[in-house]
Amino acid sequence: MADSQQVRLLDRNHCVLLVIDVQERFRPVIDRFEDIVKRCNILVKGAKRLGIPVLVSEQYPKGLGATVTEISETLSETEIPMAKMGFSALSSYELNDKLRSLGKKQLLICGLETHVCVLQTAMECLGYFPKGVYLAVDAVSSRQPAERELAIRRMESAGIRLVSSEGALFEWLRTAESPEFKDLQSLVK
């Protein structure tokens, strides 16, 4: 199992959470939008409680609006969403620099749209995170469910590791003896 593709659990000491383009204009057109917002917010709240850095991107905010209030209200003053025009979050120099400066070895991604911005970001990030790029599959969506499913299959076959939002929280915790256990457990009840 020394293979670099071996399955690794998410580790809160090595992980960064990236929330991609969960913006207001997507609300009426994205499949299961409200559930995606809820799942992304669970991850944001959990990451913040565990001291895991949270980065947020916004695709062309002048046209697509800001990050939804449910998530933006959870962010601190230093977790300002970063605008981008390219589909990959790495196309934002600000976000790219911030992501690399953190020096983390794992990346967990959630957000929109699975087959465009999420996929392109995940694929481009594969070479930068030696302990893996992870996708919270229940916290991503597209306008068409078929587009989402195809993108998830593509990412998995490229080596992106799949996890659920609740699974990610409990991997970050590792044990019910963790001082944050009850607090994080309350997020998924």
* Residues with catalytic function: 21, 84, 117
Q: Are 22 and 182 in contact (CB under 8 A)?
A: no
Which three-class secondary structure string do you get for the chain?
CCCCCCCCCCCCCCEEEEEECCEHHHCCCCCCHHHHHHHHHHHHHHHHHHCCCEEEEEECHHHHCCECHHHHCCCCCCCCCEEECCCCHHHCHHHHHHHHHCCCCEEEEEEECHHHHHHHHHHHHHHHCCCCEEEEEEEEECCCHHHHHHHHHHHHHHCCEEECHHHHHHHHHCCCCCCCHHHHHCCCC
Dig out the tokens for 111 from the structure.
Answer: 């957000």
Name the residue among 149, 123, 129, 113 with its Cα closest to residue 36: 113
